[in-house]
Amino acid sequence: MMMKKFKTLAATLLLTMGATAASANPFFIDLANFGITDIDGDGDTTTDLIQNFITSAVSPTSTYLDSNGVAGIQTGDAVVDTVEDLQISALQPLLFLDSEAFGATWQLDVDWTLSGSAIVLPDALPGNDPNYIGALTSGTITIDLTRTALGGGVQVFDDILTLNLTGSFGTLPTGNEQAVSLFAEVSAVQTGVFFDQSGNDFADLLADGQSIQFLGQTNLTNLDVDPNLNPVALNTLPQEVQDLNPNNFDAFQRNAAFGSVDISKVPEPSGLAIMGLALLGMAGVRRRNR
């Protein structure tokens, strides 16, 4: 009965998420602060309206921390996901000149350190190994801009946009795969770079107390890779992971695989994030009660 309710609520949430993604709010980027000149001859250094960023595929490193007092990794242990220099490969739906030569004169990269709780879920397909999932609830996502040699000389501009994760949702794993959504809110932004479709600077909106929300969506595979098979020495962990493990809990790592991540600016989806976390919590309770 619990699984039936879970599937029903998950289906409802997915429909709502689809509607949210469809109503993505376009935005544009001004490159003047980075010394990149007008490429398309329209008299300015701004891109056309961007619907969404598309990243390259990635295999994020998930570090599981044995924090629940029971040997090995189970539901309730801590998990930290880290990604560094994930390249944004496309600004949809822009053509080359409409993007001020994105990919040739400038590029964007994403870093993140996200944390939450581990959930071990059975697969929807009988006979498959269980799935190790991170219900991510907090952390930081940053976007860096690199001006290339063609853009006027190589220079990296770190953290032009910073977002705080507000929640995540994953569909019921099937075939050791699931669709994943990450909800985030802008916490810092460089002035004069990001603008909404009405021409309002994100920095001004943030200063006025307005919430700027983004949604990242992707597919995650290889969820059956068991982190218990790969214990790691604590001093080999990235510093940001060590900082999140002050009690020196035993650490285990595994790599799943993301397809490309679709990142869009959306109306406030915080209610969806809360619902998604509740669904994942239900799944965790079901697992513990088996």
* Residue 236 CA: distances (Å) to CA of 64, 112, 207, 257, 269: 14, 18, 39, 22, 36
E-state strands within the chain: 27-29, 52-55, 61-65, 78-92, 106-121, 131-147, 155-170, 178-189, 194-196, 213-221, 231-232, 251-255, 257-258, 262-266
Domain count, the chain: 1
Q: Which residue has the higher pLDDT, 24 or 66?
A: 66
Q: pLDDT class for 279, splitting at 50, 70, 90?
A: very low
Cα gap 90→36, rounded to integer Å: 18
Cα gap 21→218, rounded to integer Å: 12
Give the model's pLDDT for residue 8: 42
pLDDT tens per residue across span 59-116: 889 999 999 989 999 999 999 999 999 999 999 999 888 999 999 999 999 999 999 9
What value does the mean pLDDT of the chain take?
87
Q: Residue 150 sits in which domain range? A: 2-289
pLDDT tens per residue across span 259-268: 899 999 998 6
**Res. 122: pLDDT tops 70:** yes
The 8-class DSSP code of residue 219 comes to E
Q: pLDDT class for 23, splitting at 50, 70, 90?
A: low
Q: pLDDT class for 239, splitting at 50, 70, 90?
A: very high
Assign 273 to helix, strand or coil. helix
pTM of this structure: 0.85
